[in-house]
């Protein structure tokens, strides 16, 4: 129904899971894709399997200065920037009385501060390009998709930091939708429920963890909670990464050219 041929896309957190599926979906639709991940090896694996034109720049999007480098390199290596998907993130959960300042700030940094810095870095290119096109009598739509969560919409016990970051990115989305509409940029959010990734794997007795900035962060979900989610979810199951990517692809495509400032929940009907 549509092609993204000639479009340049940037996807953060694209080395695994949902981000990997988003990068592949964009590449298969014809876009050239800059693949960013904290770890280089999985980013290169995504590039090798996505098909189409890809580039890789591994690095920590929460490090000051790196978002600017990432945007600059995307434009230089892909010849432009038409689609931005702020997908990178992780969970670091605890009830509020056990949540440290470091833990809370880490959730804000990755889920709302880093997307803010990426979008701020991209603003000059997006505005200047749009002004040229408008002066030529052309309307070219560009796309921003920020990833939120049903935790950011409904809240979730044990996720004060994660829920706050994911709620914050909704405010950022709706503000930029109003600021950037004049530049023909659609800015929207997709909010996920439980999607089958390493962050939602059943917790083993020993516990699983990921390494972020030298910290070991425990991830996973208690098996009883997963079963309760399946029972509460109208579709009766967790989502697959490819299904999550489909919702994002809609907002990256011409099908959403008159949709902006919206939050689309891809949760199988689940609300916390």
38-47 residue pLDDT tens:
999 999 999 9
What is the pLDDT at residue 207? Answer: 57
Q: Is the pLDDT of residue 97 over 90?
A: yes
What is the pLDDT at residue 152? Answer: 98
CA separation, residue 1 to residues 55, 65, 88, 231, 255 (Å): 26, 38, 28, 35, 9
Q: Which of 3, 163, 148, 26 is nearest to 88 (CA)?
A: 148
Phi/psi at 249 (5° precision): -60, -35
| DSSP helix/strand/coil, 196 | coil
Going by pLDDT thresholds of 50, 70 and 90, the confidence category of residue 199 is confident
For 164-186, how does the pLDDT look when each residue is reduced to its tens digit (9 = 90+)?
999 999 999 999 999 999 999 99
Q: Is the pLDDT of residue 49 over 70?
A: yes
Q: Is the pLDDT of residue 206 over 60?
A: no
Residue 143 parent element (H or E): strand 142-149
Residue 95: CB partners within 8 Å, gap ≥ 6? 157, 158, 160
Record the tokens describing residue 61, joined without a space.
């999007």
Q: Report how far residue 52's alpha carbon sits from residue 29's, in angstroms, rounded to the nearest whole number.
A: 9
Going by pLDDT thresholds of 50, 70 and 90, the confidence category of residue 204 is low
Beta bridge partners of 11: 35, 85
What is the pLDDT at residue 214? Answer: 77
Q: Report how far residue 30's alpha carbon sits from residue 19's, in angstroms, rounded to the nearest whole number.
A: 17
For 113-170, how does the pLDDT look when each residue is reduced to its tens digit (9 = 90+)?
999 999 999 999 999 999 999 999 999 999 999 999 999 999 999 999 999 999 999 9
Name the catalytic one among 90, 162, 183, 258. 162
Q: Report how far residue 35's alpha carbon sits from residue 31's, in angstroms, rounded to the nearest whole number.
A: 12
Q: Is the pLDDT of residue 220 over 50?
A: yes
CA separation, residue 129 to residues 10, 98, 124, 133, 138 (Å): 17, 47, 8, 6, 11
Rounded to two decimals, what is the model's pTM? 0.94
Q: Looking at per-residue confidence, does 196 or 10 come out higher?
A: 10
What is the pLDDT at residue 205? Answer: 47
| DSSP helix/strand/coil, 60 | coil
Q: Is the pLDDT of residue 256 over 70?
A: yes
What is the pLDDT at residue 203? Answer: 74
For 64-81, how does the pLDDT look when each residue is reduced to its tens digit (9 = 90+)?
999 999 999 999 999 999
**Catalytic status, residue 90:** no
| Residue-range domains of the chain with CATH | 8-197+239-266 (3.40.50.720)
Residue 84 parent element (H or E): strand 83-86
């Amino acid at each position: 129904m549509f092609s993204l041929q000639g479009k340049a896309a940037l996807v953060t957190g694209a080395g695994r899971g949902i981000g990997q599926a988003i990068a592949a979906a964009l590449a298969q639709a014809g876009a050239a894709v800059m693949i960013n991940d904290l770890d280089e090896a999985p980013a290169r694996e995504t590039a090798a399997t996505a098909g189409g034109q890809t580039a890789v720049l591994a690095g920590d999007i929460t490090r000051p200065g790196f978002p600017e480098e990432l945007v600059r390199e995307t434009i230089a290596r892909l010849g432009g920037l038409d689609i931005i998907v702020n997908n990178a993130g992780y969970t670091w959960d605890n009830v509020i009385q056990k949540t440290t300042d470091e833990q809370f700030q880490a959730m804000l940094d990755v889920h709302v501060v880093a997307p803010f810095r990426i979008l701020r870095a991209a603003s000059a290119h997006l505005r200047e390009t749009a002004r040229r096109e408008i002066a030529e009598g052309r309307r070219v739509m560009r796309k921003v998709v920020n990833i939120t969560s049903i935790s950011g919409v409904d809240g979730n016990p044990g996720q004060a930091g994660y829920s706050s970051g994911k709620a914050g990115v909704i405010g950022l989305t709706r503000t930029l939708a109003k600021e950037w509409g004049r530049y023909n940029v659609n800015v929207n959010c997709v909010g996920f429920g439980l999607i089958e990734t390493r962050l939602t794997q059943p917790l083993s007795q020993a516990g699983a963890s990921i390494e972020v900035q030298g910290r070991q962060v425990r991830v996973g979900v208690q098996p009883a909670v997963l079963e309760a989610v399946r029972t509460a979810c109208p579709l009766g199951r967790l989502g697959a990464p490819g299904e999550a990517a489909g919702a994002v692809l809609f907002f990256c495509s011409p099908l959403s050219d008159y949709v902006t400032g919206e939050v689309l929940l891809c949760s199988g009907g689940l609300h916390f």
